[in-house]
Amino acid sequence: METVPIKKTYEEINARIKKGEAVVVTAEEMVNIVKREGVKSAFKKVDVVTTGTFGAMCSSGAFLNFGHTTPRMKATKVWLNDVEAYGGLAAVDCYIGATQVQEDDPLNKVHPGKFQYGGGHVIEDLIAGRPVRLRAKAYGTDCYPLREFEKTITIRDLRNAFLYNPRNCYQNYNCAVNCSKKTIYTYMGILRPHMANATYSSAGQLSPLLKDPYYWTIGTGTKIFLAGSVGVVTWQGTQHSPNCIRGENGIPKEGAGTIAVTGDMKQMNARYIRGASITGYGCSLFVGIGIPIPILNEELAYFTGIGDEEIFCQVIDYGNDYPLGQPKSLGEVSYAQLKSGQIHILGKTIPTAPLSSYPMAREIACKLKQWIQDQKFTLGIPQFPLPTIPCTITIE
Amino acid sequence: MEERKSISINVLLIFNQKIMYKPIIYRLAGDFDIVFNVLEAKILPKQEGRIILELQGKEENLQRCIEYLKNEQVQVEILADKMHRDDSRCIHCGACTAVCRTDALSINRATMEVIFIPEKCVACGLCIMACPMKAMSGIAIDKDIDNETIAQ
């Protein structure tokens, strides 16, 4: 991080936020400002660019502590609305994962399964304040004698409820097609045979990590919008991979970076976090995340100003290549093409459909902008950087 | 007489086993001046027949033809009334637009919001499968009719 030239410091920007003088724009607005006025002018003018994304993030879950029972119990098996939470932690702690499905779910026995209710839904229900049935079992010890416990609870009854997502906010993602002869049901949606449709799952020009492609301002300690509350980046996400294919503009053209995030579920808003049932695939969680990008130098003004037509992703066959673990790119398309409603691949015109919500991504970026303008949110200074690679882009 | 405009509706007609082999639909053209277009059909021999038709004609003629079908003991479901989107669940992700064949669900490219036009829906039911938020509900050609929906 020492190598990142800082021309406007975090402290200066935070001081401006506190005085209500900071210039904050959303990433959509920044794209237009840079187009209209150029990078240098945009750098001088803008202090913070807000981003947003709202999509399925399967590597999500929550640490819950349901408070000591009387008599005491060391719960080893825990269920919430019949969805199992991992109990291999201390007495009344557990971790519920977003993709865990309810006991007795028929799964894919009749394909494609519906996956009506899972961990993601439990997390949404808790945040919405809805009652949830808690059930726990233990083997009993001298200090923790209770063996069974059952109670209907709400989030207010939980002593702690922290969302902890080990991999969120993928920097970029594939565009999915199906080259096989039959319809398939994937986490990239329902894909019709012979490349009859294509799906994608990124907010493109609004997406947080695409706006800071070398993770100069995003690291442990970066404060973020997390499902309607102020959360924080805790670490690199699992599978974080800065060594990816990048364009001449430095922007990754495939998966690349990820972050781990955490936040207090009691402060969250169920509008920005939703349990999901993905037909034929399983349960998941849609998570709303917004990250403020401080414009510390001209390069960050340049990156945050890059629009959909200059951000690309790879088209991957989910019919054969991806499931076999041999994904090869069938071609590259820009988010501007994807958002237009059709792409051209291998001589074919294919209708496209998004899977992450662009309107919600925009709402999150606007909300975060409002928080900063209202002096309710200041920038967190990253204390530990995410692994990265040297940047070759310089603005003269 | 005042010339009325021609309108179009999509209907699901369910023929029970007593009437499923009786010729009925052909009369819509001759007696009621209706242009009909078969969008989907499913026949379970000796049990039940289901057909989705687009009916085009003058409003009063459409009403009369629906009366006629009901008198012939055909169960008539107006599809525009039957598919429903729960706007509190819909997050405008767009997953449904990957499978909708009639553009009843489409994306406003300016806002990227999902627009739902029930009149274009043929109740194929694919959006119910595609929606990760369970925001879409209603009847489809090969789904049981929800009695509560009918009661409403």
| SS3 state of residue B70 | helix
DSSP A24-44: EEEHHHHHHHHHHH-HHHHHH
Contact B134 A358 (CB under 8 A): no
Q: Which pLDDT score is estimated for A204?
A: 98
| Domain range B83-145, CATH class | alpha beta
> Which residues of B are less than 8 Å from A273 in CB distance?
none
Q: Where are the domains of chain B?
A: 6-79, 83-145
pLDDT digits (tens, 9 = 90+) for B26-63: 999 999 999 999 988 988 898 999 999 999 999 999 99
Contact A193, A336 (CB under 8 A): no
Domain membership of residue A80 as a residue range: 62-105+130-163
Nearest to B98 among A112, A199, A356 (CB): A199
pLDDT digits (tens, 9 = 90+) for A371-385: 999 999 999 999 999
Which residue is closest to A193 within chain B, CA to CA? B99
pLDDT digits (tens, 9 = 90+) for B48-105: 999 999 999 999 999 999 999 999 999 998 887 778 999 999 999 999 999 998 999 9
| pLDDT band at residue B3 using 50, 70 and 90 as cut-offs | low
Scan for tokens 């012979």, then name that residue.
Answer: A194
CA A96, CA A283: separation in Å to the nearest integer?
Answer: 12
The reply to whether A155 and A292 lie within a common domain is no
CA A216, CA B28: separation in Å to the nearest integer?
Answer: 69
Q: Does any domain span residue A373? A: yes
The reply to whether A217 and A141 lie within a common domain is no
Q: Look up the ipTM and state it.
A: 0.95
Which CATH number fits the domain B6-79, given the four candidates 3.10.129.10, 3.40.50.720, 3.30.70.260, 3.40.50.300? 3.30.70.260
Indicate which residue of A143, A179, A283, A366 is catalytic: A143
Half-sphere exposure of A23 (CA within 13 A, CB side): 13
Contact B111 A191 (CB under 8 A): no
The reply to whether A95 and A177 lie within a common domain is no
pTM for this structure?
Answer: 0.91
Q: B6-79 with B83-145: one CATH topology?
A: yes
Cα–Cα distance list, A361 to A112, A328, A368, B65 (Å) = 29, 29, 11, 47
CA A199, CA A56: separation in Å to the nearest integer?
Answer: 13
Q: Does any domain span residue A197? A: yes
Scan for tokens 């981003």, then name that residue.
Answer: A51
pLDDT digits (tens, 9 = 90+) for A187-204: 999 999 999 999 999 999
Q: Does any domain span residue A386? A: no
